[in-house]
């Protein structure tokens, strides 16, 4: 048993912190806003890309990858430390889709050519990714995906609509799951996983603005989009297995626990400075701090499993769901703490914390929906973690 | 970072689990819950033979293993809903002597504990049922080389079967209550000591202990006069984490029997465990248990390493107590009416969990501690 980081890991944390101290744009650090909070600003995507390339140049985005693909075979705790520090500094620049889930999925299921083609771009921070799974008619029920790819000589031609594509409006590449067999049962055996260049003719991306006013999501239309066969990952009609491993990584790559912890301490600081800590708020704060500690431990457990080469199972659904739901609770606490002031947006002269409070709160409605709903996560925990029977 | 048990810890876990599964059946649990003593000498002897009573006691004094080994075993005892003076003797008694005792005192008491000859408990709380130095009103007045103790202690676990009591009393006049507490080890047969059992909802044996002009020699002082409170705090840290380990075990077993029941019980043509409303409840139970276990082990690991642990202990006790409560509530809900009967085993777990939660400070106290340590 050991609940500390190694001296090397601690040194890495210091190195990252010193770097971010210098490199994170002043405005992001001062306002302590999230990446998407900044989406109203004209240059936010450039800031994100510039920061991504700086992280890439340091070799930090791929440090935990195998050496043959440009990594250093480092423990996944290096990825965790990097992401904790990025959260603490409110830094943009981490492509949570490309570096967070597409790279590990490619390392696991991609062909040698696919790895050679795509991993360097992710490691350098120069290529930004999006993923396209959900459709207007199918979210949690992924096996029912309808958007169809028709075999057409050396290509597949894709037609249909996808939605909830985070970063779709500026991503360079897309990890896409579509139907390639309409007859097969069970339905999940008719899905295929494609890597798609977002510049391919026939792709249209429209914004979907969330209730916090952020431009994060998009709907993506595919109109006779031709994708070469060699862009299939994991084999024709075997996309579901790639998606499952991708989702497993998605559940382990979130940093909700770190964001919640940082946000809570920011709120505590504001509350102290402004004399808001009555006994009830002191109690809430202590409770949430205990919750943050547990969220951190649940997340570390998953990373520890990965560091030993074990594939997390229900454990990742647990840490992801607990972390995200905790972030919702912390966000609600922010609203409660600031009371009437919590309604004010960044455009109001009297706004506290640059409008971060309502923004986090409104954004938090999505936390129990994204990357698989809390309901799906609880299904996973009950069925895989406890062996309870499936009804469907 | 390493979340795994080492070889020795795994060995202790298996040893304790196998022993308790074999010896401490539901039938024995029911008997012990109703039994006045709460244990049998035969069982106590077996614990001694397996070296379990020497856990965390230094080898020089006949012990074995460290505090983490003890924690692993306590989790197993929680799983078995094990009622016995083990916690009082090994966690409270032995820890107090390890933390505060002179070499002579250690020689005198610790080997007896690990050999199963001595049962010791801690008499700390009083009428206020608080674990702060100001709540200690029992007085020990110096008379030459002796001390005369007078006062009433409450919620003293296993006092009725103990050979010795460790008693915290006021010795000084200092305004700061932290600077006037001393610890004494008192033979229970000393004139003036009397025990009255406090009937509780759980099988825990608790007592009210009255000290009426109890005369003890200066040799019975543990640690230094007036400097007992910092020791008491260390003992309380261990006691609280140990209670957490018990609760983790209690909750784990409550989930295990709930899971089994949910797989077997058929309603509307399906096992009830196939329904999402039941599954999601069970999923939340597992989150509570995994989270509780890591919070507990993190605090225990820090104590074992000698690192500052006040913050982690407060987090663990506050969080585990609430999590364990949620788990028990859900266990009852999934079981339906059968879990509401005395015939079913579940209520023993529910009741013991509440006893563990309240001992050495409840949720409010530990959240308050956390506020002062953040």
Q: Say if A333 falls within a structural domain.
A: yes
Q: Say if A42 falls within a structural domain.
A: yes
The fraction of chain B above a pLDDT of 90, given in percent, is 98
Q: How many domains would you assign to chain A?
A: 3
CB contact under 8 A, A1 and B318: no
Q: How far apart, in whole angstroms, are the C-alpha atoms of residue A150 and residue A135?
A: 18
Residues 57-116 of B with CB under 8 A from A: 68
For residue A41, pLDDT over 90 is answered with no
From A185, A205, A237, give the residue that closes a domain.
A237
Q: Same domain for A43 and A149? A: no
Q: Domain residues for A210?
A: 131-237
What six digits make up the tokens of A378? 């609880």
Residues 237-276 of B with CB under 8 A from A: 255, 259, 262-263, 270-271, 273-276
Q: Say if A176 falls within a structural domain.
A: yes
Distance (Å) from the alpha carbon of B282 to chain A's nearest alpha carbon: 6
Kindly state whether B298 is in contact with chain A, defined as any CB-CB distance less than 8 angstroms.
yes
CB contact under 8 A, A290 and B276: no
Nearest to B28, CA basis, from B147, B189, B203, B158: B203
Residue A44: what pLDDT? 86
Q: Same domain for A259 and A203? A: no
The answer to whether the Cα torsion of A28, A33, A39, A42 is positive or negative is: negative
For residue A28, pLDDT over 90 is answered with no
From A237, A262, A277, give the residue that closes a domain.
A237
What residue spans of chain B are helical by DSSP H? 7-23, 26-34, 41-49, 67-79, 86, 95-100, 103-114, 228-264, 276-305, 310-335, 346-358, 363-373
Tell me which residue in B262, B283, B315 faces A290 most closely, judged by beta carbons: B315
Contact assessment for residue A241 and residue A223, using Cβ atoms and an 8 Å cutoff: no
Helix A279-307 to helix A256-273 angle (10° resolution) is 160
Residue B271: what pLDDT? 96
Q: Same domain for A87 and A29? A: yes
Residue A239: what pLDDT? 95
Q: Say if A103 falls within a structural domain.
A: no
Instruction: Return mean pLDDT, chain B.
Output: 96
Q: Say if A32 falls within a structural domain.
A: yes
Q: Same domain for A270 and A325? A: yes
Q: How far apart, in whole angstroms, are the C-alpha atoms of residue A38 and residue A90?
A: 11
Q: Same domain for A208 and A233? A: yes
Q: Measure Cα distances from B365 to A51, B294, B353 in Å.
A: 45, 21, 17
What six digits make up the tokens of A266? 């920011």
Residues of B in Cβ contact (< 8 Å) with A5:
1
Kindly state whether B9 is in contact with chain A, defined as any CB-CB distance less than 8 angstroms.
yes
Q: Same domain for A334 and A212? A: no
Q: Same domain for A70 and A189? A: no
Q: Say if A201 falls within a structural domain.
A: yes
Burial of A186 (0-12, 13-18, 19+ CB in 10 A): exposed
Residue whose pair of structure tokens reads 């970063």 in the numeric block:
A167
Nearest to A251, CA basis, from A204, A295, A312: A312
Read off the pLDDT of each residue in A145-162 and give the average, rounded to a whole number: 96
Residues of B in Cβ contact (< 8 Å) with A292:
none
Q: Measure Cα distances from B129 to A50, B122, B351 in Å.
A: 60, 14, 19
At residue B196 the predicted structure's pLDDT band, cuts being 50, 70 and 90, is: very high
Angle at B60 between CA B218 and CA B75, to 5 degrees: 95
For residue B95, pLDDT over 80 is answered with yes
Residues of B in Cβ contact (< 8 Å) with A381:
282-283, 286-287
Distance (Å) from the alpha carbon of B129 to chain A's nearest alpha carbon: 21
Q: What is the pLDDT of residues B351-374, one digit of tens each?
A: 999 999 999 999 999 999 999 877
Which domain CATH number covers A334? 1.20.140.10
Q: What is the pLDDT of residues A234-279, one digit of tens each?
A: 999 999 999 888 877 777 777 899 999 999 999 999 999 999 999 9
From A189, A211, A237, give the residue that closes a domain.
A237
For residue B119, pLDDT over 80 is answered with yes
Which value does ipTM take for this structure? 0.90
Where is average pLDDT lowest: A79-93, A247-261, B149-163, B240-254? A247-261
User: CB B83: neighbour CB atoms within 10 A?
Assistant: 26
Within chain A, how many helices (H) and strands (E) appear? 12, 8
For residue B242, pLDDT over 80 is answered with yes
What six digits make up the tokens of A233? 């990952």
Q: Same domain for A258 and A352? A: yes
Q: Same domain for A70 and A157? A: no
How would you classify the pairing of strands A215-228 and A173-179?
unpaired
Q: How far apart, in whole angstroms, are the C-alpha atoms of residue A107 and residue A122?
A: 12
Nearest to B355, CA basis, from B251, B252, B247: B247
Which domain CATH number covers A86? 1.10.540.10
Residues of A in Cβ contact (< 8 Å) with B9:
1
Q: How far apart, in whole angstroms, are the C-alpha atoms of residue A322 and residue A329?
A: 10
At residue A198 the predicted structure's pLDDT band, cuts being 50, 70 and 90, is: very high
Helix B67-79 to helix B7-23 angle (10° resolution) is 30
Burial of B358 (0-12, 13-18, 19+ CB in 10 A): middle
Residue A35: what pLDDT? 74
Instruction: Check residues A197 and A250 and name the one with the higher pLDDT.
Output: A197
For residue B285, pLDDT over 80 is answered with yes
Domains recognised in chain B with CATH numbers = 7-119 (1.10.540.10), 121-226 (2.40.110.10), 230-373 (1.20.140.10)
Distance (Å) from the alpha carbon of B159 to chain A's nearest alpha carbon: 34
Residue A252: what pLDDT? 78
Q: Same domain for A261 and A175? A: no
Kindly state whether B197 is in contact with chain A, defined as any CB-CB distance less than 8 angstroms.
no
Distance (Å) from the alpha carbon of B334 to chain A's nearest alpha carbon: 13
Choosing among B6, B268, B287, which should be mutated to test the A contact, i.e. which has the most A CBs within 10 A?
B287
Q: Say if A35 falls within a structural domain.
A: yes
Kindly state whether B277 is in contact with chain A, defined as any CB-CB distance less than 8 angstroms.
no
Q: Which residues pair with B123 in a beta bridge?
A: B167
For residue A33, pLDDT over 90 is answered with no
Q: Omega of the bond prior to A186 within 30 degrees of 0, cis?
A: yes
Residue A254: what pLDDT? 79
Nearest to B82, CA basis, from B137, B136, B44: B44
Residues of B in Cβ contact (< 8 Å) with A376:
none
| DSSP 8-state code for residue A102 | I
Q: Same domain for A259 and A376? A: yes
Residue A246: what pLDDT? 80
Nearest to A101, CA basis, from A175, A198, A210: A175
Within chain B, how many helices (H) and strands (E) appear? 12, 10
Q: Say if A373 falls within a structural domain.
A: yes
Q: Same domain for A263 and A366? A: yes
């Amino acid at each position: 048993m050991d609940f500390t980081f190694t001296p090397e890991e601690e040194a890495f944390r210091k190195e990252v912190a010193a770097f971010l101290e210098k490199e994170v744009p002043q405005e992001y650090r001062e306002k302590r806003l999230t990446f998407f909070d900044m989406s109203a600003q004209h240059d936010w995507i450039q800031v994100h890309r510039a920061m991504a390339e700086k992280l890439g140049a340091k070799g930090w985005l791929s440090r935990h990858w195998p050496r043959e693909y440009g990594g250093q075979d480092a423990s996944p705790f290096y990825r965790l430390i990097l992401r904790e520090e990025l959260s603490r500094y409110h830094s943009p620049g981490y492509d949570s889709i490309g570096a967070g889930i597409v790279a590990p999925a490619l390392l696991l299921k991609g062909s040698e050519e696919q790895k050679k083609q795509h991993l360097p771009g992710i490691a350098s921070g120069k290529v930004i990714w999006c993923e396209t799974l959900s459709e207007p008619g199918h979210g949690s029920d992924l096996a029912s995906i309808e958007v169809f790819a028709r075999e057409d000589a050396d290509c597949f031609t894709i037609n249909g609509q996808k939605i909830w594509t985070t970063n779709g409006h500026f991503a360079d590449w897309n990890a896409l799951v579509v139907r390639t067999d309409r007859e097969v049962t069970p339905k999940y055996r008719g899905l295929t996983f494609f890597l798609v260049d977002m510049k391919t003719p026939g792709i249209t991306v429209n914004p979907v603005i969330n209730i916090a006013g952020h431009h994060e999501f998009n709907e993506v239309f595919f109109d006779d989009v031709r994708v070469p066969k060699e862009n299939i990952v994991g084999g024709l009609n075997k996309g579901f297995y790639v998606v499952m491993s991708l989702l497993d990584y998605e559940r382990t790559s979130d940093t909700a626990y770190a964001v919640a912890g940082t946000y809570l301490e920011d709120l505590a600081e504001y509350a102290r400075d402004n004399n808001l800590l009555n006994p009830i708020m002191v109690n809430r704060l202590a409770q949430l701090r205990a919750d943050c500690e547990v969220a951190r431990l649940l997340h570390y457990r998953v990373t520890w499993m990965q560091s030993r080469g074990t594939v997390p199972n229900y454990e990742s659904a647990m840490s992801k769901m607990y972390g995200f739901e905790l972030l919702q609770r912390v966000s609600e606490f922010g609203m409660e703490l600031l009371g009437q002031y919590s309604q004010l947006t960044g455009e109001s002269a009297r706004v506290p914390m640059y409008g971060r409070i309502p923004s986090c709160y409104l954004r938090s409605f999505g936390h129990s929906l994204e990357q698989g709903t809390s309901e799906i996560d609880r299904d996973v925990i009950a069925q895989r973690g406890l062996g309870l029977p499936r009804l469907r | 970072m390493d979340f795994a048990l080492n070889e020795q810890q795994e060995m202790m876990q298996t040893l304790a689990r196998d022993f308790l599964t074999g010896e401490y059946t539901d039938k024995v649990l029911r008997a012990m819950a109703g039994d006045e003593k709460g244990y049998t000498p035969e069982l106590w002897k077996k614990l001694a033979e397996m070296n379990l009573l020497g856990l965390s006691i230094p080898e020089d004094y006949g012990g074995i293993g460290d505090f983490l080994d003890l924690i692993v075993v306590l989790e197993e005892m929680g799983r078995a809903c094990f009622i016995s003076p083990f916690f009082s003797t090994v966690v409270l008694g032995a820890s107090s002597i390890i933390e505060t005792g002179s070499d002579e005192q250690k020689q005198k008491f610790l080997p007896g504990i690990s050999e199963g000859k001595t049962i010791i408990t801690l008499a700390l709380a009083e009428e206020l049922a608080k674990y702060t130095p100001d709540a200690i009103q029992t007085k020990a007045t110096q008379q030459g080389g002796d001390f005369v103790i007078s006062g009433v202690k409450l919620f003293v676990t296993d006092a009725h079967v103990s050979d010795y009591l460790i008693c915290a009393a006021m010795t000084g006049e200092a305004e700061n209550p932290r600077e006037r507490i001393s610890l004494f080890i008192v033979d229970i047969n000393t004139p003036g000591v009397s025990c009255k059992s406090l009937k509780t909802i759980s099988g825990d044996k608790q007592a009210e202990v009255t000290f009426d002009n109890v005369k003890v020699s200066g040799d019975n002082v543990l640690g230094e006069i007036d400097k007992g409170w910092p020791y008491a705090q260390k003992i309380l840290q261990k006691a609280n984490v140990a209670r957490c380990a018990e609760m983790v075990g209690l909750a784990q077993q409550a989930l295990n029997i709930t899971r089994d029941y949910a797989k077997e019980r058929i309603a509307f043509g399906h096992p009830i465990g196939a329904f999402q409303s039941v599954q999601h409840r069970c999923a939340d139970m597992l989150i509570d248990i995994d989270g509780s276990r890591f919070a507990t082990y993190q605090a225990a690991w820090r104590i074992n390493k000698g690192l500052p642990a006040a913050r982690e202990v407060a987090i663990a006790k506050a969080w585990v107590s609430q999590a364990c409560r949620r788990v028990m509530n859900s266990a009852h809900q999934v079981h339906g009416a059968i879990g509401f009967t005395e015939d079913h085993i579940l209520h023993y777990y529910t009741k013991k969990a509440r006893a563990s939660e309240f001992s050495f400070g409840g949720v409010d106290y530990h959240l308050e501690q956390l506020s002062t340590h953040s």
